[in-house]
Structure 1
Amino acid sequence: MHALEHQLLEVNGIELSLYSAGPQGGRALWLLHGFPECWHSWRKQIAPLAAAGYRVLIPEMRGYGKSSAPREPEVYDLITLCGDIQGAMDALGQTECCVIGHDWGAPVAWHLALLEPQRVRAVVAMAVPFGGRPKQPATELMAQLYAGRFHYILHFQTPGVAEAEMDADMARTLRMMMHNTSAAVPKDFFLQDKPAGAGLFDGMQDPGSLPAWCDAAAFAHYLDTFAGRGFYGALNWYRNFHRNWLRTEALAELQVGQPALFLLGDHDPVGTLEAYTLKQMPKRVRQLEQHVLKDCGHWIQNEQAEQVNQLLLDFLGRQYPA
């Protein structure tokens, strides 16, 4: 087995915490985690990918873990987040790579493919599809559609509000979010029917235990990611929909031209929330391969790790061989 390495890189005005594994000369694979996760969410992919000959790079994204977490929400827009990874690629002298992203890591992966058509040779996204730049910022549309009703993204917009509830008991927060977006739970916090101004977890019960896909040792890594800091950095990613819309204007007409793989769990509520984007995706991603995994919720690379690994290695073997 290849030993796991760690380093801190000075890039894009921050310190980026980066874990890596696999042969130094292997082709680069970037694994970009989502919310509210950590580098360790890729624990079931690192060894198989490294064993296949890839140099696997797993950053703690801006706002998470040992990476810097500026307080200002405006420094968490997509172009800046992409700049963190681009800066790390530059620092490591990489001229080619494949980017793989889950949840919020997926939009970063999609936009890296747009920004770096020569360096990014292939792209994989899980849970969050790509439909191009919307006609208006997503939060404006949400405010119209959910006037007077709760929507978790609208709930996250005001700094300090969601943090107060989530930071009060971080273990409870993570348990609730893990359970209530897994395949085994039919109701989730994404799609709650309650009034605007309600708390994130109002009407829900703490399961008091971990889902089957996350054992205590793994959960300790998730907790450590937010210990002493809380969730403000992770939540700041949600406070940039308008800024993202403004800063991606130059990319509005671009298509993803690289070979692309998209994976979605059949019980992932994001599939319902992003139904329109899923329909639009084939128009914006020219070489698209899609798979829906059965009995799978939002945490796809852990809930169905074996199938995800098989699909990844098959796609990479054809489109980005080690």
Structure 2
Amino acid sequence: MIQRDVQTDGLIHRVLESGPTDGPLVLLVHGFPELGVSWRAQVAALAEAGFHAVAPDMRGYGGTRAETGFTILHLVGDMVDLVRALGRDGCVVVGHDWGAPVAWHCALMRPDLFTAVAGLSVPFQPRRPKGPPTPAMAAISKRAGLGDLYITRFQAPDAHKPFDADPATALRKMFFAYDGATADGEQSTGFLTPGVDLLDSIADAATLPPWMSPEHFREYVDAFSAAGFARPLDWYRSLDRNWELTAWLQDRRMDQPSLFIVGERDPVRHYAGAHEAGLKDWLTDLRGQHVLPGAGHWLQQERPDEVNRLLLGFLQSL
């Protein structure tokens, strides 16, 4: 397994890579606040099975620096560029958390290039025809008396500053609050009372999850201390712009083979789970939809053996 930089048309991508160079290519797309190394167990397992596994640091994260361009068109374009830079004309794309919407949109926009797709933790969410998402999120939360969804708070131009002030504490709290081993009352629901930000809503006594070694945690702390959280939060601040740019995808379905995996205790299900029930209406060749008992949000790290088994079964069926 190696880590190296790959020059594409627009970026220098830091990637974690293993497996035979002539094996079928699988791209593994991380989410927030993660890095390509979050897929280390999957890169190893896929390589052993004969696949060429590549997990990039995404635009604005870790070793892949960028100051502009965080719409879904940029993010899908990055993956198209990376496939070409790796000398391939097709691949399977797998995404977790924010990486899942990127993977779903890779399949929607370039079905010729992304021949199969898998999403972890975040189901495909079709474009809402009645208007952009963040005002709708705010209105739904207000009607339900739930407070503000953290995603609407992330729209503020300075929302990254509490994270940048103490990256180690921010990361420790985030990994703790969305982990399956964390007790119900200590997990984040994603909804915030007025005047309380996301990090303040998580107990100061938050500990690292059982699967997170101090050495692995240091990789995240070093990366986010160097690059900051502003660019990752720009992904969230592009949500309404994404809605404007994707009218041409309205009502489009994915015909490629697809897979979805989610943790039973994933807090994201509080605000994205409603889309799980209708997945087969949008993924016409959905070959598996799995809920992992007791698992939280960080699936590929919390439950590497189960995720590897499901991914390999899916890939070997193609």
Q: TM-score, normalised by structure 2?
A: 0.93
Q: Which amino acid aligns with 2:153?
A: H
Quote how far apart the aligned CAs of 1:208 are: 5.3
Among 257, 260, 266, the alignment partner of 2:258 is: 260
Alpha-carbon distance change, 5 to 36 in structure 1, aligned in 2, over 3 angstroms:
closer
Which of residues 137, 144, 157 is equivalent to 2:139? 144
2: CA distance, partners of 1:257 / 1:250:
17
Deviates more, 1:164-173 or 1:97-106: 164-173
2:34 is equivalent to residue 40 of structure 1? no
Range moving further from structure 2, 295-304 or 184-193: 184-193
CA deviation string 1:49-108 (max 9, x = no partner): 0010111111100010111220x4xx2111111001101112222111000100000001
2:231 pairs with one of 226, 230, 233: 233
- Residue pair 1:175, 1:207 contacting (<8 A) in 2 also: no
Work out the number of aligned pairs and report it. Answer: 311
Aligned partner of residue 306 in structure 2, secondary structure: helix
What amino acid does structure 2 have at the position aligned with 1:46? V
Q: Summarize the alignment of residues 87-236 of structure 1 with structure 2, pairs less than 5 Å apart.
A: 87-135=81-129, 136-147=131-142, 149-160=147-158, 162-185=159-182, 186=184, 187-195=186-194, 197-207=195-205, 209-236=207-234
Q: 1:140 to 1:94 in 2, by over 3 A?
A: same
**Shift in Å, 1:228:** 2.2
Q: Give the secondary structure class of the aligned counterpart of 2:208.
A: coil
Q: 1:227 is paired with a residue of what secondary structure? A: helix
1 CA distance for matches of 2:180 and 2:261? 15
Q: Which segment is superposed worse, 202-211 or 17-26?
A: 202-211
Contact 1:165 1:200 in 2 (8 A): no
Q: Letter of the aligned partner of 1:139 in structure 2? A: T
Q: Following the alignment from structure 2 to structure 1, what is the Cα–Cα distance between the partners of residues 242 and 226?
A: 28
CA drift at 1:188: 2.9
2:308 paired with 1:309: yes
The answer to whether the aligner puts 1:286 opposite 2:281 as a matched pair is no
Deviation at 1:226, TM superposition (A): 0.9
Residue type of the alignment partner of 2:60: G
- Quote the offset at 1:253 in angstroms: 2.3
- Root mean square deviation, CA, Å: 1.6
What secondary structure, in the 3-state scheme, does the structure 1 residue paired with 2:135 have? helix
**Structure 1 unaligned blocks of 5 or more:** none
Q: Is the 8 A contact 1:14 1:67 kept in 2?
A: yes
Q: CA contact under 8 A between 1:175 and 1:209: conserved in structure 2? A: yes
Contact kept? 1:9, 1:18, Cα under 8 Å: no
Paired with 2:266 and 2:32, the residues of 1 have a C-alpha distance of: 14
Percent of paired sites with the same residue: 39
Identify unmatched segments of 5+ residues in structure 2: none
How far apart are the structure 2 equivalents of 1:228 and 1:48? Answer: 30
Secondary structure of 1:228 counterpart: helix
